[in-house]
């Protein structure tokens, strides 16, 4: 989508559509009131007849309005306040984008009606929502279907205020970079596992670093990981014909003396459960088990596009988890890169095995903080549903920063406890720890396991099992939590 800011009069602007924000029970905003006067009260008449009340997401078309260049007006309900909350705003902008797409409009104009102090937040969220609603999946190299009607290509924000114009331009830049990162994460998640393999993730990451002097990409193969002693990660890949990869991307946007933020993303490109085989129903959705990795790669791209003045390291342990004669068995004991031994009590608790070696590997970068992102536990879906990611951390300041970034970006997380009382559930008679902690508090004990590999670090864990993809008719990856992660990194600048 092409976004721009214009300062010309609404009635003289040639566009397929002008979007007219309507607040429930409130007088028309100045820009909309001006259009209403020029169109001989047509907007107000629709409202007075009860065709539109202004509820969030409510729409009403006005075709061939008199006195203006635009071909049509789209009246759009924002809810009960001039500065709607994120939920109402996303609902409204989603409805407007879908209506525009179905109408055959190629361009649309949106007058600014938001107060200046919240304009950047609102504008950026609108850009992200428009891009998200416009997202469509298609297989790489497949023939794209010819559109049945003209496609929406251009959205312009209209304001005559220079300060507002500058704020919107900044919001567009940020929103577009974040939206593109979200779209990349969604595409990687949506791709079938026979295409999106560990090697594919490595190649897509290399594309981000292509011709970028401040990005260095390195990919370790299984022999190199074995030499390092990554026994936990490699135990997951034993059953697969696809070799595991450890993808490391270093983005250098600040002085060498500045310690980096390290993002670690779980990249299980297909998770059958291994010998502890999952039920067959909905196993196709286990291609989404690399959405943590996808979010890290999408965040890396957004940081590159924004050229943030920070240092960032993105680490993706990537593998499949399949059963075979070579696959790891329940009861096997493996040695992690940290030297700690792990009894594999359930091979379907594989995400923590690849993450723990990646967390240990991350220490060599002497990071300021480490954040891992993973579709880790079904227990998190039970606890929080799809609306929030689970957050667990050994550092209150880092946890609070992520919570704040979640609120700012409308990509929220919720903190769960990481108390020592949960640690004994991981006790093992045959190793330093088991890889599961029993049926109780599964999200917490999974984080307790990871915490043993990040004891010397400021560390946070985001369990995105509920947030990473949708089920049913809307089945597909969401690209979360790219928005949260990028906002956290922007805040650090």
Is 352 part of the annotated catalytic residue set? yes
Q: pLDDT tens across 368-412, in order?
A: 999 999 999 999 999 999 999 999 999 999 999 999 999 999 999
Looking at residues 405-431, what average pLDDT do you find? 98
Pairwise CA distance, residues 411 & 196, whole Å: 25
- Residue-wise burial string across 195-214, b where 16 or more C-beta atoms lie within 10 A, e elsewhere: ebbbbbbbebbeebbeeeee
Looking at residues 125-133, what average pLDDT do you find? 97
Select from 464, 308, 273, 327 the least CA-distant residue to 387: 464
Q: pLDDT tens across 189-237, in order?
A: 999 999 999 999 999 999 999 999 999 999 999 999 999 999 999 999 9
Is 206 part of the annotated catalytic residue set? no
Q: pLDDT tens across 236-248, in order?
A: 999 999 999 999 9
Where along the chain do the CATH 3.40.630.10 domains lie? 183-492
Select from 210, 195, 309 the least CA-distant residue to 252: 309
Phi and psi, residue 318, nearest 5°: -125, 130
Q: Is the pLDDT of residue 152 over 80?
A: yes
* Contacts of 287 by beta carbon, 8 Å cutoff, 6+ apart: 189, 191, 192, 193, 196, 269, 270
Where along the chain do the CATH 3.40.220.10 domains lie? 2-160
Share of the chain above pLDDT 70, in %: 99
Catalytic residue selected from 124, 186, 245, 352: 352
pLDDT recorded at residue 147: 65
Sign of the CA dihedral running 74, 79, 82, 85: negative
Is the link from the previous residue into 243 a cis peptide, with omega within 30 of 0? no
Please state, as a whole number, how many other Cβ atoms lie within 10 Å of the Cβ of residue 473: 6
Phi and psi, residue 145, nearest 5°: -65, 140
Q: Is the pLDDT of residue 166 over 70?
A: yes
Per DSSP, the residues of 247-305 read EEEEEE-S-TTSPPEEEEE-EEEEE--TTSPPPSTTGGGGGGGGHHHHHHHHHHHHHHH
User: Is residue 189 within 8 Å of 181, Cβ to Cβ?
Assistant: no
According to DSSP H, which parts of 318-471 are helical? 351-362, 378-384, 396-409, 442-451
Please state, as a whole number, how many other Cβ atoms lie within 10 Å of the Cβ of residue 141: 6
Q: pLDDT tens across 257-273, in order?
A: 999 999 999 999 999 99
Q: Is the pLDDT of residue 171 over 90?
A: yes
Question: Whole-prediction pTM value?
Answer: 0.96
Pairwise CA distance, residues 183 & 171, whole Å: 18
Catalytic residue selected from 80, 278, 386, 415: 278
User: Is residue 446 within 8 Å of 433, Cβ to Cβ?
Assistant: no
Q: Hey, what's the torsion of the CAs at 271, 319, 464, 311, to 10 degrees?
A: 180
User: Is residue 231 within 8 Å of 337, Cβ to Cβ?
Assistant: yes
Q: pLDDT tens across 64-98, in order?
A: 999 999 999 999 999 998 788 999 999 999 999 99
pLDDT recorded at residue 141: 73
User: Is residue 165 within 8 Å of 7, Cβ to Cβ?
Assistant: yes
pLDDT recorded at residue 391: 98
pLDDT recorded at residue 161: 86
Q: How confident is the model at residue 144 (pLDDT cuts 50, 70, 90)?
A: low
Select from 239, 233, 230 the least CA-distant residue to 321: 239
Fold classified for 183-492: Aminopeptidase (3.40.630)
Backbone conformation region of residue 76, classed left if phi is above 0, alpha if psi is from -120 to 50, else beta: beta
Q: How confident is the model at residue 115 (pLDDT cuts 50, 70, 90)?
A: confident
pLDDT recorded at residue 258: 97
Select from 135, 129, 3 the least CA-distant residue to 409: 129
Q: How confident is the model at residue 8 (pLDDT cuts 50, 70, 90)?
A: confident
Which helix (H) or strand (E) segment holds residue 370: the answer is strand 369-374
Fold classified for 2-160: 3.40.220
Looking at residues 287-293, what average pLDDT do you find? 98
């Amino acid at each position: 989508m092409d976004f721009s800011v214009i300062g010309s009069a609404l009635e003289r602007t040639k566009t397929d559509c002008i979007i007219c924000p309507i607040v429930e029970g409130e007088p028309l905003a100045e820009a909309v009131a001006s259009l209403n006067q020029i169109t001989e009260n047509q907007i107000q008449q629709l409202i007075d007849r009860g065709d539109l009340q202004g509820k969030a997401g409510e729409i009403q078309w006005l075709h061939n309005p008199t006195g203006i260049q635009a071909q049509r007006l789209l009246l759009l309900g924002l809810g009960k306040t001039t500065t709607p909350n994120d939920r109402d705003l996303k609902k409204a902008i989603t409805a407007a984008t879908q209506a525009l797409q179905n109408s055959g409009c190629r361009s649309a104009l949106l007058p600014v009606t938001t107060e200046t102090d919240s304009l950047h937040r609102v504008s950026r969220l609108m850009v992200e929502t428009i891009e998200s609603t416009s997202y469509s999946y298609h297989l790489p190299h497949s023939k794209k279907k010819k559109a049945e009607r003209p496609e929406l290509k251009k959205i312009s924000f209209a304001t005559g205020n220079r300060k507002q114009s500058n704020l919107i331009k900044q919001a567009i830049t940020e929103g577009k970079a974040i939206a593109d990162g979200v779209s990349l994460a969604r595409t990687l998640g949506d791709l079938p596992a026979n295409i999106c393999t560990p090697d594919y993730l490595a190649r897509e990451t290399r594309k981000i670093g292509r011709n970028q002097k401040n990005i260095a990409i390195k990919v370790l193969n299984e022999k190199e990981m074995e030499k390092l002693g990554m026994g936990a990660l490699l135990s997951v890949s034993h059953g697969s014909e696809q070799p595991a990869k450890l993808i490391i991307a270093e983005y250098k946007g600040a002085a060498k003396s500045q310690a980096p933020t390290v993002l670690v993303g779980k990249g299980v490109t297909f998770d059958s459960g291994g010998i502890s085989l999952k039920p067959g129903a909905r196993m196709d959705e286990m291609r989404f088990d690399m959405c943590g990795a996808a979010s890290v790669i999408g965040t890396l791209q957004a940081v590159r596009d924004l050229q943030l003045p920070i240092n960032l390291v993105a680490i993706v342990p990537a593998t499949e988890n399949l059963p075979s004669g070579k696959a790891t068995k329940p009861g096997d004991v493996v040695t992690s890169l940290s030297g700690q031994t792990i009894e594999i009590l359930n091979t379907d608790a594989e995400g923590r095995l690849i993450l723990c070696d990646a967390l240990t590997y991350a220490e060599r970068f002497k990071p300021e903080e480490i954040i891992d992102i993973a579709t880790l536990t079904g227990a998190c879906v039970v606890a929080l549903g799809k609306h929030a990611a689970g957050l667990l951390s050994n550092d209150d300041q880092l946890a609070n920063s992520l919570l704040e970034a979640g609120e700012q970006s409308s990509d929220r997380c919720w903190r769960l406890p990481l108390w020592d009382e949960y640690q004994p559930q991981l006790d093992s008679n045959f190793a330093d720890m088991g890889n599961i902690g029993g049926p109780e508090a599964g999200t917490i004990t999974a984080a307790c396991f990871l915490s043993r590999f990040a004891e010397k670090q400021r560390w946070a864990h985001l369990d995105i099992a509920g947030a990473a993809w949708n089920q049913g008719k809307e089945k597909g990856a969401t690209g979360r939590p790219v928005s949260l992660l990028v906002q956290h990194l922007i805040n650090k600048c």
